């Protein structure tokens, strides 16, 4: 697990064929837009969040973000405890994100 700067996150993500993006924000936050191809798993759903994380493929690399980088850091720690080796937190979250954002359908 690691904290990546905005630039490191974008560069590493662009060169990772095994990447999955996870948005751990609330439904209300996601309504403002989501990074393209991200999976939305709200960390505030507690056990439901953990259940959904446990269904994920542990061989993939996960790029996790939230609004500011705090909840996504917590999510990466949870993933690490569940046996995930490649979970990366986006420092500064959506507050500092300058990449593409799309509306969720």
* CATH number, residue 52: 3.40.250.10
Q: What is the token pair recorded at 67?
A: 């609004």
| Active-site entry in 20, 22, 66, 79 | 66
Q: Which residues pair with 67 in a beta bridge?
A: none
70 is a domain residue: yes
- Residue 102 belongs to a domain: no
89 within 8 A of 3, measured Cβ to Cβ: yes
pTM reported for the whole predicted model? 0.95
Domain-embedded: residue 12: yes
| 24 lies in some domain | yes
Q: Which of 28, 26, 50 is nearest to 40 (CA)?
A: 26
Residue 20 inside a domain? The answer is: yes
- Distance in angstroms (rounded) separating the CA atoms of residues 46 and 37: 23
Q: What is the CA radius of gyration of the chain?
A: 12
Q: pLDDT of the chain along its 105 residues, tens only?
A: 789 999 999 999 999 999 999 999 999 999 999 999 999 999 999 999 999 999 999 999 999 999 999 999 999 999 999 999 999 999 999 999 999 999 976
Q: How many domains does the chain have?
A: 1
Which domain covers residue 29, as residue numbers?
Answer: 2-96
Q: Could you confirm whether 66 is annotated as catalytic? A: yes
């Amino acid at each position: 697990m690691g904290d990546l700067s905005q630039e490191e996150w974008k560069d590493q993500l662009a060169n990772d064929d095994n990447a999955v993006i996870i948005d751990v924000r609330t439904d209300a936050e996601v309504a403002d837009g989501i990074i393209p191809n991200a999976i939305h798993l709200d960390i505030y759903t507690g056990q439901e969040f953990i259940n959904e994380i446990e269904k994920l493929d542990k061989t993939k690399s996960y790029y996790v973000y939230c609004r500011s980088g705090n909840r996504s850091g917590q999510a990466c720690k949870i993933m690490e405890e569940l046996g995930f080796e490649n979970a990366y937190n986006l420092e500064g979250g959506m507050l500092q994100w300058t990449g593409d954002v799309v509306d969720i359908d």
